[in-house]
Structure 1
Amino acid sequence: SSDLSNPLPEDLADPVFLSPDAGAVALAETVRDTYGEGEIDYFEKVRHSGTEVEISPSDVDVTDRDVVVTDDIIATGSTMSEAVGVLQDRGVGRVFVTCVHPLLASNAVTKLARAGVEAIYGTDTIERQQSTVSVAPAIAEHL
């Protein structure tokens, strides 16, 4: 399988693998399992209107812990930046973002960097500077 845990540092501090919502927990679990250790959690997302989304992580303690946020796609980075902001408020260690499709429209990368993301790792389904993981092996498996 395409291993999104591959580019992650090997020295993550008591890592938490966070999914942006309950629906994407399986992806967080996959990345955690290939990394080898860590806790799983997800953000509760409440969409108030088309654009307004309120995010709160469930009650896992992230203080001084490294967090890997996993998502299937990152487009504008707005929701992700907000999520990372919440983590920063809670005294998180380092924050890494992994995604399958790094769409990363307009200033998404800048937005995420400002929010405090150390690095963004994506696969090469969309060619981006952040596409460090090849999906070729996974696709080859299914041919």
Structure 2
Amino acid sequence: MMRVFSGPSHPELAKGICAHLGVPLSPIHYQRFSDDCLYIQLGETVRNHDVFIVQTISAPTSDHLIELFMMLDIARSAGARSVHAVIPYFSYARSDKKDAPRISITARLMADLIVQSGAQHVMTMTLHSPQVHGFFSVPTDHLTALPCFVDHFKKRDLRSTVVVSPDIGHAKRASKLASALGGLPMAAGNKVRVSDTEVVMRDWVGSRPRGVEHALIFDDEIANGGTMFEAIRALKEEGVRRFTVACTHGIFSGQAIERFAAMPEIEEIVTTDTVAIPEGKRLPNMTILSVAGVFAEAIRCNAMGRSVGKLFAFWPEDEPGQPGLGQAE
């Protein structure tokens, strides 16, 4: 027997997952006391059930983490047969190494806390640093939204298009998208992060993106947009005039939305619903793809004891053609 609960961070995605699974979304009772402490109660019995808790780690990040810890602990303490943390966006995946003195490798710390809270299995999507997958000491399914993007962009006119990774560290993802879209040319930028809001594109790795009219810039996430805006500036110097911006996690913090709205050369912004995007941030040229089907299939495979390998974030390079979402990858 299965129970699916949603934390407060993204109940709409949880409802979509349940719709694909054909099961109801179980209720929770949530309250914040006057002293700012939280109270959470799972609204249905979980004893001897497989419990899936959906909670994306977006702003307010600390609140959503505490809520997740509490719900995992509740499920474990209430006799659940298995406890699964479904985390569409794991924001601390950026903190994957010690690159300054006296700092925390926070991704590993959060992974430990999730497991200690009661998670026996974790599902997440498109980690900023793939090695964070290994920080979890329980089975972890690192899923991909790539089939969703492939299905979407195959309906577009992609003549004279280059797929661009603004960060050489994520070039493999962009390369797979380019290959899945019929072998489009691909370019990767060598960026240097100056601060949380400032990025400098030093040069291009491999062939330069010259002689094309349209660039499809593909990254794992957009926070304040600094990387995307710098990539667009550098691509304009190469003669590119039309742009499509795509990412799995649309955070759109700071002035990102205002800056995107002021750039008519951006024809479309494509993201997914791993993070809840309020109406005020939804621009007319923004398309939000749902990943509910991907997570629902992963949950179904886990519940039925089937392999989840075809949903993982790393497609085999020699696979003959890339499937759509309906084919599960």
User: TM-score normalised to the size of structure 2?
Assistant: 0.39
**Residue identity matched to 1:81:** F
Measure how far apart 1:49 and its partner are. Answer: 5.5
Selected match of 1:18 from 164, 167, 172: 164
- Cα distance in 2, alignment partners of residues 52 and 68 from structure 1: 21
Please point out which of 134, 138, 143 is paired with 2:294.
138
In 2, Cα distance between equivalents of 1:91 and 1:25:
21
Q: Which has the higher helix share?
A: 2
1:132 maps to a residue whose letter is I
Corresponding residue number in structure 2 for 1:5: 150
Aligned residue number for residue 117 of structure 1 = 266
Cα contact 2:210–2:240 (8 A) shared by 1? yes
Which of 98, 104, 121 pairs up with 2:252? Answer: 104
Query: How far is the alpha carbon of 1:112 from its aligned partner?
Result: 2.9
Aligned residue pairs: how many?
143
Does 2:194 match 1:45? no
The verdict on how the C-alpha distance between 1:17 and 1:126 changes in structure 2, with shifts beyond 3 A counting, is same
The residue identity in structure 2 corresponding to 1:6 is D
Give distance in 2, aligned partners of 1:77 and 1:17: 18
Q: Deviations over 1:10-67 (max 9, x none)?
A: 2122321111212211221232233223012211012345654320333423333321
Is contact 1:5–1:32 with CA below 8 Å preserved after alignment? no
Percent identical pairs in the alignment equals 31
User: Any conservation in 2 of the 1:16–1:62 contact (CA below 8 Å)?
Assistant: no
Give the SS at the match of 1:96: strand
Change (3 A) 1:30 1:109: farther
After superposition, the Cα gap between the structure-2 partners of 1:131 and 1:106, relative to the gap in structure 1 and judged at 3 Å, is: farther
Report whether the alignment pairs 1:78 with 2:226: yes
Code of the aligned partner of 1:138: V
SS of the counterpart of 1:88? helix
Distance in 2, matches of 1:104 and 1:50, equals 13
With 5-14 and 92-101 compared, the bigger mean Cα shift is at 5-14
Question: Cα RMSD over matched residues?
Answer: 2.3
Quick one: structure 1 residues 112 and 12, their matched pair in 2 at CA, closer, same or farther if it must change by over 3 Å?
Answer: same
- SS of residue paired to 1:122: strand
C-alpha contact 2:222 2:249 (8 A) present in aligned 1: yes
Q: Matches of 1:49 and 1:105 in 2, distance apart?
A: 15
Matched residue type, 1:17: V
Q: How far is 1:136 from its partner?
A: 1.4
More RCO (CA 8 Å, sep 6+) = 1
Q: Which amino acid aligns with 2:210?
A: V
**CA distance in structure 2 between the partners assigned to 1:93 and 1:12 by the alignment:** 14
> What stretches of structure 2 of length at least 5 have no aligned partner?
1-143, 300-329
Question: Once structures 1 and 2 are overlaid, which stretch shifts more, 62-71 or 99-108?
Answer: 62-71
- Structure 1 partner of 2:50: none
Structure 1 residue identity aligned to 2:257:
V
Cα pair 1:84 1:117 within 8 Å, conserved? no
Local SS of the residue matching 1:64: coil
Q: Tell me, which stretches of 5 or more residues in structure 1 are unaligned? A: none
